[in-house]
Structure 1
């Protein structure tokens, strides 16, 4: 965000410069002094940067809790979050009739479709 702050400072300086007394002989582009063009360009770049920052913020990972209840010795979750490689083991908590397996993952927003059938069917998880 240092770039955003630097750009804000430049926009403020350009605003001050554009409002100040224009020296004799200052150059014009399409009838506007270069100080005004500088301000317009900096404002446009700043708006683009704010949009990109918003897009980056939207793609930030979020903490997501997962759990599965049933009878099993171990439960593991795999997915695109780790390139379908090692997966994450869920921690069990046993009761008299079943166990609850849980974990917390850092996941980026997105939607993953279900694939497979029967025992090989994967669950859909939407991170918003």
Structure 2
């Protein structure tokens, strides 16, 4: 759910123990800004700093991270697939929608998508 990245890693046994080894995949667990230990302003979460806490900025962070890793690992031809549950599932869906040229796919679980245009999801290829 994006709050404790180490807990997320420990709870992802299927990804880390089965799927990644079988596919020869590199797994990256990214913690969104203002979650867990990723506090860009330390504990000083004042309203002025919260202007940097938007979904658009988090999805941009993840897209930049994916592109940066592909470049630094000389893996520009390797597909990137996002996985997430809860808030991470929402972010998975959004990065796939906003950055289809970066994310080849996404597996989202328990994402809170019902708050955003629920009648239009199937028109955008989301089921």
Would you tell me which structure has more helix in proportion to its own residues? 2
If the length of structure 2 is used for normalisation, what is the TM-score?
0.22
Larger Rg computed on CA atoms: 1
Give the TM-score taking structure 1 as reference length: 0.22
Q: Which has the higher strand share?
A: 1
